[in-house]
Amino acid sequence: MLIEAQAVAKRYGRDWVLRDLDFQLAKHEAVALVGPNGVGKTTLLRVLAGLVRPTQGSIKLVGRVGFLANPPAFHRHFSGAENLHYALRLDGRADDRAEIDRALKQVGLPHDKPVLSYSSGMKKRLAMARLRLQNPDIWLLDEPEAALDVQGRGLLEDLVNFARASGGVVIATHDKSWLSLVDRVVELRAT
């Protein structure tokens, strides 16, 4: 198992967002988290990514974790290439210009255009490129289809297939068309 979460709960003040949630992700598995707004899909991904501590429960992760947030965050004044260079350095990896160029080409983005001039869909594409460079074992995607055009959705489908082949992927989504890409659907309900 890549993820084993037992009795995970998260509370903000008096409000419980997650309660007694058990969740597993096997290697080469794709899982969709579905449910209405406010049921904890994003919170669960943030807990699994280590960005938020659970109030209760235990989580065991095997391997490196990559998180595609919605919306993704970048240095606005850096170009796409500079953001990817920075991401590689944060991961402790050497700067590989050819690897960065290849990642940008895969998602159809220019090399030197500053991110502040990017549309929301272009930022999402840059986030996909960053995840491919990171090549985690566990891929956590929060509403990855948001702001993508038809071509971007095709790139995302390729990314999900790549993520499944290289590790495992969890997708929080409202878009039921993505359910055909996953092995299992986990429905979260209000607590």
pLDDT of residue 190: 79
pLDDT of residue 175: 83
pLDDT of residue 66: 95
Residues 6+ apart with CB under 8 A from 51: 67
Question: Is residue 191 scored above 80 in pLDDT?
Answer: no
Question: Is residue 92 scored above 90 in pLDDT?
Answer: no
Strand 56-61 versus strand 3-12 pairing type? antiparallel
Q: How far apart are the first and last CA of the chain?
A: 27
Question: Is residue 157 scored above 90 in pLDDT?
Answer: yes
Q: How far apart are CA 99 and CA 95, in angstroms?
A: 8
Question: Is residue 78 scored above 80 in pLDDT?
Answer: yes
pLDDT of residue 47: 97
Confidence grade of residue 180 (pLDDT, cut at 50, 70, 90): confident
The closest alpha carbon to 78, from 108, 121, 123, 120, belongs to 123
> pLDDT, tens digit, for every residue of 121-130?
999 999 999 9
Domains along the sequence of the chain with CATH: 3-187 (3.40.50.300)
Q: What is the pTM of this model?
A: 0.93
> pLDDT, tens digit, for every residue of 27-57?
999 999 999 888 999 999 999 999 999 999 9
pLDDT of residue 179: 85
The three-state secondary structure class of 166 is: helix
Calculate mean pLDDT across residues 10-32.
95
pLDDT of residue 32: 96
Question: Is residue 161 scored above 70 in pLDDT?
Answer: yes
If phi over 0 gives left and psi between -120 and 50 gives alpha, with beta otherwise, what is residue 7?
Answer: left
> Please, what is the average pLDDT of the chain?
93
